[in-house]
Each structure stands twice: as structure tokens, then as C-alpha cells.
Amino acid sequence: MKKTVVCNNGHGRLQAGKVSPELGFDHPLRDRIMKECRSKQFRLFEWWSNREIVRHICHQLSGSDVKCVNLVPDPENYGKFLEGRVARANKIKHDLYVAVHSDAFGDGGFNHVRGHHVFYAAHQEIAQIFNNNIAAILPESQNRGIVLNPSPKAPSRFYELHGTKMPAVLTETLFYTSELDCRLLLDSIEIIAQGHVNAILEWSKL
């Protein structure tokens, strides 16, 4: 039987999530990001990159043995409250919930903390599959491993991991507070999506 995965682009315009400081490099996506994020500065907005990654995940899974549901295809106008997103997911018959995020560290300025990790509450094996596949497609990124939530490393309960009815993982890929990671993220949106897709296809065979 074909499995269904729900992908949530962690934030929306009404709940923008993390925002980088002003970026000091140019990029082909600069004008588009500034226009779509209504920003006068070239900054990276988590809701925007999450949206792009999820779009590519669903596109890359089309025609596969896994059905992908983009939980919030209209993140510019929907999704202020996380509880509403999880409630929407719980009404959909699905087998796995994947929350797509990026991370930040410190007081909001740039620093040297970089890398990627995956959070889980009850499904360590699935989290490890995602971590392995993202590490494989981003070999230049620091692999920060998998993290149980809640735990000393992540004491606050992540609602997406504990409010969903199905198994869930939450990916945090690269840091908005690292300019090097911001550049890598912008250069790797489709690659990051492919890492998630590879993980989903591996999970689907369990």
C-alpha cells in the first residue's frame, strides 16, 4: 500500500521563524527573496526557505511510491499558530509527519555555530535515517546528530513531535546565524530537499 508523508514548512509569513542578519554576499535569489519577503535588506527568512524545500520534496516524490502532502501550500497567508497546522495534519490520513526547519544560535548576530541535526520524540530509527541521508548530501556540513526531545539538549517540548498522531521527525538543516550556512542553504535548496526525499524513500521500505 502506498504510504503518505505530510511535510510541514516549519513557518509562514505570519510566523516567520528565524531571520538571518543582513547578508554580505550577492546571490541569484537575492531579488526574489527581498520581493517575496517584503524586505529592504537581503536577509534569509526561514519561512521562505522552508517553503522552497518542501515544494521540492513534494515535486521530487511525485511519481514515486510515496504520496507527499504539502501541509501548508499557502504559508504566506496561513500558519500563524502551530497548533492549527498540527490539527490540520491530524485530519489527514498519513504515515509520517516531517517538519522542515533551519536553526539559529545566540543573540541573532552571526557566529560560528553550523551544521544540521534531526529531532525526534519516539522514533529514533526514523530520525537516524533522516540524519544519515542529509549528512550524505551535505558532506561539507557539520553533522550534529539526532536529538531526543525533550532532553537536556532540547528541554522544551516541540509541539510538532508531541501533538501529531503519527510518527514525526523535525529536521534542522543549517544555521541562519552563520553566514556560511546561509550561503550553503541558498546554494543547496534542491539538494537539501533531495536528502529529505532519500530519507522518506528509505523509511517507506521499513
Distance CA 186, CA 112 (A): 18
Q: Would the pLDDT of 73 be above 90?
A: no
Question: Across the strands, what pairs with 154?
Answer: 151
- Output phi, psi for 147, to 5 deg: -135, 125
**Nearby residues of 110 by Cβ (< 8 Å), 6 or more positions away:** 20, 21, 177, 178, 179
Q: Report the pLDDT value the prediction gives residue 79, as an integer from 0 to 100.
A: 59
Q: Report the pLDDT value the prediction gives residue 16, as an integer from 0 to 100.
A: 62
Distance CA 150, CA 156 (A): 6
Q: Report the pLDDT value the prediction gives residue 12, as an integer from 0 to 100.
A: 79
Q: How far, in Å, are 9, 91, 107 from residue 204 at the CA level?
A: 20, 21, 39
Q: Would the pLDDT of 78 be above 70?
A: no
Q: Would the pLDDT of 77 be above 70?
A: no
CB atoms near residue 93 (< 10 Å) = 11
For residues 177-181, give the mean pLDDT.
97
What's the pTM?
0.96
Give the cell for residue 31. Answer: 531579488
Q: Report the pLDDT value the prediction gives residue 10, as an integer from 0 to 100.
A: 83
pLDDT in tens, 89-144: 999 999 999 999 999 999 889 999 999 999 999 999 999 999 999 999 999 999 99
Report which of 161, 107, 118, 164 is spatially closest to residue 141, judged by C-alpha positions.
118
Q: Report the pLDDT value the prediction gives residue 108, as an integer from 0 to 100.
A: 82
DSSP state of 160: H
Q: Would the pLDDT of 81 be above 90?
A: no
Q: Report the pLDDT value the prediction gives residue 111, as an integer from 0 to 100.
A: 97
